[in-house]
Chain A
Amino acid sequence: MADERFISNPLRDPQDRRLPRIAGPCVLVMFGVTGDLARKKLMPAVYDLANRGLLPPGFGLVGFARREWANEDFASRVHQAVREHARTPFREEVWKQLCEGIRFVQGNLDEESSYEELARTIDDLDQLRGTNGNHAFYLSIPPGLFETVIQNLNRSGLAAPDRGGWRRVVIEKPFGHDLTSAKELNQVLSTAFPTKSVFRIDHYLGKETVQNLLALRFANEMFEPVWNNHYIDHVQITMAEDIGVGGRASYYDGIGAARDVIQNHLLQLLALTAMDEPISFDATNLRREKQKVLSAVTTPKRLDLHTARGRYAPGWTGGRRVVGYVEEEGFQSTSTTETFAAIRVDIDSRRWAGVPFYLRAGKRLPRRVTEIALAFKKAPHLPFTTTDTLELGTNALVMRIQPDEGVTLRFGAKVPGTQMEIRDVNMDFGYGDSFTETSPEAYERLLLDVLLGDPPLFPQQEEVELGWQILDPVLDYWASQRTPPEDYESGTWGPASAHEMIARDGRAWRRP
């Protein structure tokens, strides 16, 4: 009957952009279902996708954990998570559809028999729900356990595709803690899954605003001409959190702000900001450009002058008294883990030579904000008297990633009523509450992309390794100091050394 098959679906038409992409039938197996991420993000995202009609009829969700739960217990847990955290309104019929495909497997991650049970459950779903042997494994577990799980998946035959179906594995950061460990992790993954089946989630890349960065840069004519060292003085990429580690000091210990945030999120944002235009937005071409720019990133020779690290001390944030990092539960007195990190990097390319990129990330800063700010050079000549332009700063283009997503353009304008006095003003584009209210969560987009096998938004091993190559010298330098990071008062913008570091270059951090 092969001749009866058609090559392209007659009901699909590139012009018909109303039709959404619906994933094919598949089973999503979740390891670590009792975790916060699963409850607050993953399960609600699954429901939201179903509610938007993007999950296939015949979708299976299998939870795997040590708890002694029956299918119904797990289902009621998912139900609760959906009720509490889903973005879209709850609808009984959508839940019914999802519920039919929910299974739970009680087992230990290191027990072979548990995987046999898992294999039976999945097989059963394949028969019952027609999932065609398409399985995705979401490892929402500590990276230390990856190896065990991957080995067992391999041994039980779960990792090997059959019946023409696919197998995919999804992992979350951290992707190692340095270059060596990242390579080891990849080694483990590649024993069971080919490169194209490994989906590394960097939830920042699933955010609408990060995708908008590509639209802003490459869909417009007015930005690209100034997007280089002729006009840009420097770039600041900031990711600030107002919370502390909240009792998870033992988990955070040894990771720190640089590994946790700079290595992945901030370097990805840097790559998207600095890369050249890709030939197209497919995964290969997009990655090629990102890798190119990341390969050109260099760290300063004098790490003592161009990096800073800090640790939050007690203080007040947002009107509340908070403890310092050393008083957090689980803190070890030998710890040198930083909760604030700032580094300068340079990009050796024609476009960016001479334009430093300052990256900073920290906890217990005054407010939660992520943004990319391009600071322009001063105008070469100002035909005003100096007193006229006393209050004039430099122009800036700021892309706000979260919260309050949007774009700000800062420029000088005349103060009304004066003879000629020029002051900075902001021109603002906000996605505002209006757009974001219905825009999908990052995890919805990313989960759907996994199920569709659509990889552009997932970093691959090369990008992860490049990230570590950039960061490793800095981390090694800090480790060689053998002293705890400099204290900064909670609720301030980082330690004094961070301000000194940028002042040394004759610049200052922007207050986001």
Chain B
Amino acid sequence: MIITLTNTDTSEIGNALLKARSRLGNASGLVLTLIVAAEQRSFSKAYTAAQTAAREHPCRLVLVVKTTGKTDRLDAEIHLAEDVPGEVIVLRLSGLVREHADSVVLPLLLPDSPVVMWWPQNAPDAPSEDVLGALADRRITDAASSADPIKTLETRALNHVPGDTDLTWTRLTLWRALLAAALDQYPMRILSATVAGPRNNAPCDLMAAWLESRLKVAVNRKPSAGPGITSVTLDTPGGPVVIAREDGKTASYSIPGQPRRTVALKRRDINELLTEELRRLDADDVYAGALSSLLSREGRSAPTPRPVRKRKEAGAIAAARVAKTGARADSRKAARVQEALSRQEPPMPKSHHVQEQS
């Protein structure tokens, strides 16, 4: 079922949702709100990925699309179906409304449950300072979608706050699991390590950074044709532990004194990455450690801890913005934001702790 609302506001959307849900009779067991900053041209890809992730994590999916329209208006579509878990709200923002996306999204967040923001492309340099990003407990970006992934990842590292995550890191999980398993079997001291992969490949650099942060030895980068990481070598006094993947699908796995074996190690698609990402909603300290190691490898200093802006403050800023735009801003909208704010629960302290970093 698709309900289309043109030139609307959030209370109309809320009412339509409520009505639709009681008509379909499905209870609301939604566990989180996922906001997607979708772009017109990549809309369907983002839509599919988010829907797939929603299968494992029933959520209210809010797709925010900024159109090129000049008129100030909000159009919305609500998608509900028996075979799809959760709810999908597509918001199309035109004109000035584009500047006030948070005022539209805030009232649509599920009460009391986590909020995740995902930028399939063109994420801001400091996701936690974005108007929508500030509403979220967890912010998912993807450096691979940018023109210069490594530089993007470094910028993110400089602006990192707990709750930020990048799919570059998610792409490494299977590799990291195999490496950890290899050392479970062969618990020898590591003398040095080498990561091979194409030049200017963000996952390779992040892998090297992670290894360096964990192993405390020098980690070299070796150029190769790819795709992606082609091998990771850990040198031990007994010989090298090597995991190599030439074809992007199957890896060979060799440990000193043991026969060489193959293991499936595929490059996962965006749906799977997002699903993994939604499984954990707490701060990822290991990722933070890898990022600061990435910066020091590039000769830049690790970031000073940045406080996470609290949800309430974010809302206040949003309200202030609305007020600031003055005459042309819709005063009713500001009132709505204020009203929504007064309904907001105070932020939970534990999800906003400032992480100690060296």
Contact = CB atoms under 8 A, between A and B. Distances in A.
B218 interface: no
Interface string B246-285: 0001110101001101111110000000011000100011
Contacts of A12: 180, 183-184
Given A11-B215, A432-B85, A6 B261 contact: no
Contacts of B183: 9-12
Nearest to A13: B286
B29 A19 contact: no
A22 B179 CA distance: 11
B173 A18 contact: yes
A430 B29 contact: yes
Interface of B: 27, 29, 54-58, 85-86, 170, 173-174, 176-181, 183-185, 187-190, 211, 214-216, 236-238, 249-251, 253, 255, 258-259, 261-266, 275-276, 280, 284-286
A93 B263 CA distance: 8
B250 A93 contact: yes
Contacts of A1: 188, 237-238
Contacts of A132: 185, 258
Interface in A55-73: 56-58
B184 A96 contact: no
A430 B266 CA distance: 33
Determine the main DSSP class of B at the interface with A: mixed
B47 to A, nearest CB: 17
A19 B173 contact: yes
Interface residue tally on A, bucketed by range? 35 or more
Given A6-B189, A15-B285, A438-B55, A57 B180 contact: no
A53 B264 contact: yes
B249 A93 contact: yes
A12 B86 CA distance: 35
Nearest to A98: B264
B263 A97 contact: yes
A400 to B, nearest CB: 13
Determine the main DSSP class of A at the interface with B: loop
A12 B214 CA distance: 8
B184 A15 contact: no
Given A15-B284, A434-B54, 16 more contacts: A1-B188, A4-B238, A5-B187, A5-B188, A9-B180, A11-B180, A17-B280, A24-B185, A53-B174, A53-B264, A57-B262, A93-B250, A132-B258, A435-B56, A437-B55, A438-B55
Given A53-B264, A97-B262, A437 B187 contact: no
A22 to B, nearest CB: 4
18 contacts: A5-B188, A10-B216, A11-B211, A11-B214, A12-B183, A15-B284, A15-B285, A18-B170, A18-B280, A18-B284, A22-B178, A24-B181, A58-B258, A58-B261, A93-B264, A96-B250, A96-B264, A132-B258
Contacts of B86: 434
A430 B26 CA distance: 10
Contacts of A303: none
A91 B58 contact: no
B187 A9 contact: yes
A476 interface: no
A94 interface: yes
B56 A16 contact: no
A132 B255 CA distance: 12
Interface string A123-141: 0000111101000000000
Given A25-B185, A96-B262, A11 B27 contact: no
B350 to A, nearest CB: 15
A36 interface: no
A254 B216 CA distance: 64
A188 interface: no
